[in-house]
Amino acid sequence: MVSILLLEDEHYTRRFLKKLVSENPLVDRIIDTASGKEAINIASEHNPNIILLDIELNPEEKLSGIQVAKTIYDFNPETYFVFITGYSQYAIESFAVHPYDYILKPVKKGKVNEIISSLADKIKKRNATRNNSEKIMIKVNNEIIMITLSDIIFIEKNGKFNLIHARNNIYKIHQTLGELEDKLGENFLRVHKSFIANIEKVVRIREVGNRSYEVGFDGYDKVALMSRYKFEKHKHRFIPL
């Protein structure tokens, strides 16, 4: 399953594309926007696997789709970019972000589904390879540290930093939750905009009001938060204790 960000400033085209993409069974989530600046913020927060973006945006934006892609590529080079355009003259300029493909207007359903299916297969294989790795590499101050995945309990956003709660230490890092999310494998779940939890370590989920839940971990006294939306979406992955 893949997550997709759609950037298209034409309302009817965006609505058509969103409906078309959402009908693909390989798509788990789709977020759409007409704003290049908002697309950058969404990509930073949600780390989509695929971004479909129009090259020619509203002049008031003062950003083209290629400029948006370059900004996102700087902090998430693993994202797959697919440009939507009615012209071909942008191909050379767009090489900077290594686009996977182009969708030429008028958009054809078969082409869109072909691209999504192909990318979903690539993402699945990439994640499977990554999940076979038992460690991830993080930078803490001037050190590069290897952390065993099974030692990580949860990760939380803390101001401009993120804290990795591991079995024997807490690491303060600059990498964003979005950058970490795909590197951690299937046992790690984004349970809140500020928390990623290792579901193998979860021993209880307690409702605490204000549309949120408290997540407790085996042998660890600190807790994470889970939003009601994430609870409803992922509760099938937790076994009641």
CATH number, domain of 210, equals 2.40.50.1020
Q: Tell me: pLDDT of 182 over 60.
A: yes
Q: Are residues 157 and 112 in the same domain?
A: no
Q: Where are the alpha helices (DSSP H) in the chain?
A: 11-22, 36-46, 65-75, 91-94, 109-131, 177-181, 228-234
d(CA 37, CA 127): 29
Q: Are residues 58 and 157 in the same domain?
A: no
Q: Are residues 96 and 145 in the same domain?
A: no
DSSP collapsed to 3 states, 29-62: EEEEECCHHHHHHHHHHHCCCEEEEECCCCHHHC
Last residue of a domain, one of 80, 114, 131: 131
Predicted pLDDT of residue 110:
92
Predicted pLDDT of residue 241:
36
The mean pLDDT of 18-35, rounded to a whole number, is 93
Predicted pLDDT of residue 180:
84
Q: Are residues 190 and 231 in the same domain?
A: yes
Q: Are residues 141 and 197 in the same domain?
A: yes
Give the neighbor-by-neighbor strand order of the sheet with 50-54: 27-33, 2-7, 50-54, 80-85, 101-104
Q: Whole-structure pTM over 0.85, yes or no?
A: no
Q: Which domain holds residue 126?
A: 2-131
Over residues 187-202, the pLDDT tens digits come to 788 999 999 999 889 9
Closest CA to 72 of 103, 101, 49, 89: 49
Q: Are residues 187 and 152 in the same domain?
A: yes
* CATH code: domain of residue 75: 3.40.50.2300
Quick one: pLDDT band at residue 169, thresholds 50, 70, 90?
A: very high
Last residue of a domain, one of 107, 131, 155: 131
Over residues 76-104, the pLDDT tens digits come to 888 999 988 876 555 445 555 677 888 88
Total domains in the chain come to: 2
For residues 239 and 152, which has the higher predicted lDDT (pLDDT)?
152
Q: Tell me: pLDDT of 6 over 50.
A: yes
Q: Are residues 97 and 176 in the same domain?
A: no
Do residues 2 and 46 make contact, with C-beta atoms less than 8 angstroms apart?
no
d(CA 2, CA 193): 18
Q: What percent of the chain has pLDDT over 90?
A: 41
d(CA 164, CA 162): 7
The mean pLDDT of 1-30, rounded to a whole number, is 92
Q: Two tokens at 69?
A: 């892609």
